[in-house]
């Protein structure tokens, strides 16, 4: 009975917060848009206070959005079958195969041979590995491949939490290192091309962004390492040779990484193979059930798939769809037009802050698709460097660390079971603010003087 009362209290608090946000929103937005931001506040509060299971809260948009006239049931539910969800499903199947064959033990052993077996060293090594891989593979794929390894290194729940976040945050940070690392980067280049702006060459992009990635990796590793003692991490003895099943999974992973690298476009030198990344990941995941691999069995292994996280992705995509359909995204964007009288540095900070925290509750791909044309118009009217402002907005769209719906790596970290929403918010809000500060400072005092003078 006491537990039931606690759940009721938490749900009531979430409803109260949603109602307050709704009434506050009516001062600035339409009734429909105000309902949307109230519902989003309600959902975010439930995700945070964990009053109800993650999957239950993630299915609520299917009920609430049509009930409040935001978008229809069909428009909502179609987002729970978004193509990227099948990319995650394939990645989860591969991660289950890695864990089942204990291949992650062998990979962990190799990592511990290179880096000191201390918590701080592991956080830095996992963050660096994740960041570098996500610069050439998608940050989603990188996180899926590494998360199982992070969870095996230790049985300590606090260390598991920080190792999982190191991989997720490292993937977010490293995804901006190259133009192909994350979808918002490619959207920026496409919009620049459509406006006949001078493209940013591949190598120049890396030179511009590398200092930002480095300082964020170091800052993030330091933050996650706070309060940890340098205790030795125990190591499990491993046999000298890979088992037959471990070899099978290793070959599949190597083939997957090779195919993903060749599939990635490097403009203007290589258009890529043009294959669907979702199809590639799902196909390789399904191979684990088929001969000659025969690693997974559906009846035995399907319950290891984190279905609640798949529902969470659907909720995130539904929110993004609702932002577009109700015009709320455009309405928020128009407020930028009133800010052009601000000094350029303050305007830069304002855009960075707005994009970073807006990305927490909607798809960064959808958000940046809407915002970049507006920022182009704002910067043109203000007579300031358009490329600089669009670049800042694009990078901020990937630097959202607070909520699991903000970026795919964040959600995958949640799926591990080692991370709670409270933990992600606690570390994420600090990294959000650090990201805003470092992006704006590097843009103002490095990019502007060297590349955009």
Predicted confidence (pLDDT) per residue in 117-148, tens digit: 788 888 888 898 888 877 766 677 778 778 87
> Distance (Å, rounded) from C-alpha 189 to C-alpha 194?
9
Handedness of CA 288, 293, 294, 295 (dihedral sign): negative
Query: Which of 47-56, 216-225, 340-349 is modeled with the greatest confidence?
Result: 216-225
- Structure tokens that stand for 321 in this block: 């769809």
Say if residues 191 and 372 touch (Cβ distance below 8 Å): yes
Say if residues 322 and 65 touch (Cβ distance below 8 Å): yes
Task: List CB contacts of 232: < 8 A, sequence separation 6 or more.
Answer: 117, 118
Place of tokens 């790596």: 409
Residue 270 pairs with which residues in a beta bridge? 266
Is the pLDDT score of 235 beyond 60? Answer: no
Place of tokens 């991989």: 167
pLDDT band at 333; cut points 50, 70, 90: low
Please give the angle made by the CA atoms of 208, 84 and 194, to the nearest 5 degrees.
50
Dihedral in degrees, nearest 10, Cα atoms 410, 412, 413, 419: 100
Please give the angle made by the CA atoms of 326, 276 and 180, to the nearest 5 degrees.
80
Q: Where are the domains positioned within the chain?
A: 1-52, 53-452
Say if residues 87 and 277 touch (Cβ distance below 8 Å): yes
Is the pLDDT score of 236 beyond 60? Answer: no
> Distance (Å, rounded) from C-alpha 140 to C-alpha 137?
8
> Distance (Å, rounded) from C-alpha 116 to C-alpha 408?
29
- Structure tokens that stand for 191 in this block: 């919009």
Is 367 strand, coil or helix? helix
pLDDT digits (tens, 9 = 90+) for 144-193: 778 877 777 777 888 889 999 999 999 999 988 877 677 788 778 777 87
Say if residues 133 and 256 touch (Cβ distance below 8 Å): no
pLDDT band at 87; cut points 50, 70, 90: confident
- pTM of the entire predicted model: 0.72
Greater pLDDT, 442 or 1: 442
- Helix segments in 399-420, DSSP class H: 408-415
Compute the chain's Rg from CA coordinates: 22
Name which of 207, 365, 349 is nearest 277 in CA terms. Answer: 365
Query: Which of 34-48, 54-68, 82-96, 301-315 is modeled with the greatest confidence?
Result: 54-68
pLDDT value of position 336: 66
Please give the angle made by the CA atoms of 170, 146 and 82, to the nearest 5 degrees.
85
Please give the angle made by the CA atoms of 56, 60 and 66, to the nearest 5 degrees.
160
| DSSP 8-state symbol, 339 | T
Place of tokens 């080692």: 418
Average pLDDT, the chain: 83
In the chain, how long is the greatest CA-to-CA distance? Answer: 67
pLDDT value of position 23: 95
Is 266 strand, coil or helix? strand
pLDDT value of position 173: 93
Greater pLDDT, 337 or 75: 75
Is 269 strand, coil or helix? coil
């Amino acid at each position: 009975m006491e537990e039931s009362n606690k759940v009721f209290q938490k749900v009531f608090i979430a409803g109260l917060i949603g109602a307050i946000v709704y009434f506050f929103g009516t001062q600035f937005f339409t009734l429909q848009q105000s309902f949307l931001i109230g519902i989003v506040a309600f959902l975010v509060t439930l995700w945070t206070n964990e009053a109800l299971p993650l999957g239950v809260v993630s299915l609520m948009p299917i009920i609430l959005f049509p009930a409040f006239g935001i978008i229809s049931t069909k428009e909502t539910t179609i987002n729970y079958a978004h193509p990227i969800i099948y990319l995650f499903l394939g990645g989860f199947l591969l991660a289950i195969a890695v864990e089942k064959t204990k291949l992650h033990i062998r990979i962990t052993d190799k990592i511990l041979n290179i880096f000191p077996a201390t918590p701080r060293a592991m956080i830095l090594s996992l963050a660096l590995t994740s960041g570098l891989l996500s610069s050439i593979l998608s940050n989603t794929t990188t996180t899926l491949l590494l998360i199982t390894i992070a969870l095996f290194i230790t049985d300590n729940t606090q260390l598991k939490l920080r190792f999982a976040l190191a991989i997720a945050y490292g993937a977010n940070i490293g995804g901006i290192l190259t133009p192909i690392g994350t979808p918002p980067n490619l959207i920026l280049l496409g919009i620049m091309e459509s406006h006949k702006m001078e493209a940013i060459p591949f190598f120049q992009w890396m030179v511009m962004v590398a200092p930002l990635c480095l300082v964020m990796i170091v800052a993030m590793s330091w933050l996650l390492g706070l309060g940890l003692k340098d205790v030795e991490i125990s190591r499990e003895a491993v046999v000298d040779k890979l088992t037959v099943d471990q070899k099978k999974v290793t070959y599949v992973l190597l083939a997957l990484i090779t195919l993903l690298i060749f599939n990635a476009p490097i403009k203007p030198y290589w258009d890529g193979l043009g294959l669907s990344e979702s199809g590639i990941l799902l196909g390789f995941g399904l191979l684990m059930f088929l001969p000659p691999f025969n690693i997974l069995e559906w009846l035995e292994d399907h319950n290891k798939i984190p279905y609640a996280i798949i529902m969470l992705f659907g909720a995130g995509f539904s929110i993004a769809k609702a932002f577009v359909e109700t015009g709320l995204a455009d309405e928020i964007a128009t407020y930028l037009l009133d800010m052009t009288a601000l000094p350029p540095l303050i305007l830069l900070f304002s855009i960075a802050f707005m994009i970073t925290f807006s990305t927490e509750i909607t798809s960064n791909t959808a958000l940046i698709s809407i915002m970049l044309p507006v920022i182009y118009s704002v910067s043109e009217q203000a007579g300031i460097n358009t490329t600089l402002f669009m670049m800042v907005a694009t990078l901020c769209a990937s630097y959202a660390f607070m909520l699991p719906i903000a970026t795919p790596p964040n959600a995958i970290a949640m799926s591990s079971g080692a991370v709670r929403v409270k933990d992600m918010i606690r570390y994420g809000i600090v990294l959000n603010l650090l990201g805003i500060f470092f992006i704006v400072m590097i843009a103002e005092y490095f990019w502007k003087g060297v590349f955009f003078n």
